[in-house]
Amino acid sequence: MTAAETPLGRKRRARRMARMLAELHPDAHCELDYADPFQLAVATILSAQCTDVRVNLTTPALFARYPDPAAMAAADRGELEELIRPTGFFRNKTNSLLGLSAALLSDHGGEVPGTMAELVKLPGIGRKTANVILGNAFGVPGITVDTHLARLVHRFGWTTATDPVKIEHAVGELIPKNDWTMFSHRIIFHGRRVCFARKPACGACGLAKLCPSYGSGPVDPDAAAKLLKGPRVAELAAAAERVNT
Ligand code: SF4
């Protein structure tokens, strides 16, 4: 994991880290609530600059009022804006939802398409959103390059790329395709619970021995354990102690 690391060495280290992430975060999953691909597309659009928890508080009433693209395309703009206002940027998001629903109706018979090429042509759907939809609603492997994944793969020394598409391809070279969707959930969980942007909990991190950025945050196990977040704090600290001692 130094500058002298070979491509094969990096791939082996990346796969060991991916296996450890699977051990550390067995509960990793898509945290948005949805019942079908359309609801997932809507929830993912709403999740921009907003927590999944807040989106999940907002969507039950939204989906009850507009259960499908036909209902949403015919929505009164003001009413739709009010329903999604708590998620922020509600005017832009309303434009995306109205545009998406209309395009699904006119071009796809009211169904969400299941390919990257078709998804990224839809209003409000970029590559990141398309990968979330493909991976979770269609079972097509996808790497979701969000802020957590981008930060962590830099810290892991897997890539120096900053362009999301380049990051996606770099990670795709290291991780087996079948694992892409679950890997994305696990690394995002690690970013939310352990490897924080400001103060990563390095001393309580099960990846410490494989991570060149160990020391970016507190290395004292007790101090680091206090930083951990989520419902599995005790398990995460114990796993880190087991692998690091
Ligand atoms: S050792 Fe530190 S920087 Fe590396 S993954 Fe763990 S918390 Fe993040």
Whole-angstrom distance, CA of residue 55 vs CA of residue 45: 10
Atom 8 of ligand 1: nearest residue by CA position: 195
Q: Residue 245 has what pLDDT?
A: 80
Which two three-digit tokens encode residue 97?
Answer: 């939802």
Which amino acid type is present at position 169? H
30 annotated ligand binder: no
Task: Kindly state the average pLDDT of the residues 134-147.
Answer: 95
83, 62 Cβ separation under 8 angstroms: yes
The pLDDT mean for the chain works out to: 96
DSSP letter, residue 156: T
CATH T-level assignment (fold) for domain 37-137 = Endonuclease III; domain 1 (1.10.340)
| Residues within a 6 A CB radius of ligand 1 | 155, 194-195, 200-202, 205, 207-208, 211, 213-214, 216-217
Q: 50 C-alpha vs ligand 1 centroid, how far in Å?
A: 24
Total residue count of the chain as it appears in this document: 245
195 annotated ligand binder: yes
* Cα-based distances in Å from 141 to 107, 108, 134, 177: 24, 22, 7, 6
Q: Residue 234 has what pLDDT?
A: 97
Atom of ligand 1 nearest to the CA of 215: 2
Q: 98 C-alpha vs ligand 1 centroid, how far in Å?
A: 41
Best residue among 195, 219, 236 to mutate for probing ligand 1, ranked by most atoms within 8 Å of CB: 195
Delimiting residues of CATH 1.10.340.30 domain(s) in the chain: 37-137
Delimiting residues of CATH 1.10.1670.10 domain(s) in the chain: 7-28+145-244
Q: 206 C-alpha vs ligand 1 centroid, how far in Å?
A: 8
* pLDDT of 2 above 60: no
* pLDDT of 3 above 70: no
* Active site members: 128, 146
**What residue spans of 180-232 are helical by DSSP H?**
180-193, 221-225
Q: What percent of the chain has pLDDT over 70?
A: 99
* pLDDT of 142 above 70: yes
Best residue among 16, 188, 205 to mutate for probing ligand 1, ranked by most atoms within 8 Å of CB: 205
Q: What kind of architecture, by CATH, is found in domain 7-28+145-244?
A: Orthogonal Bundle (1.10)
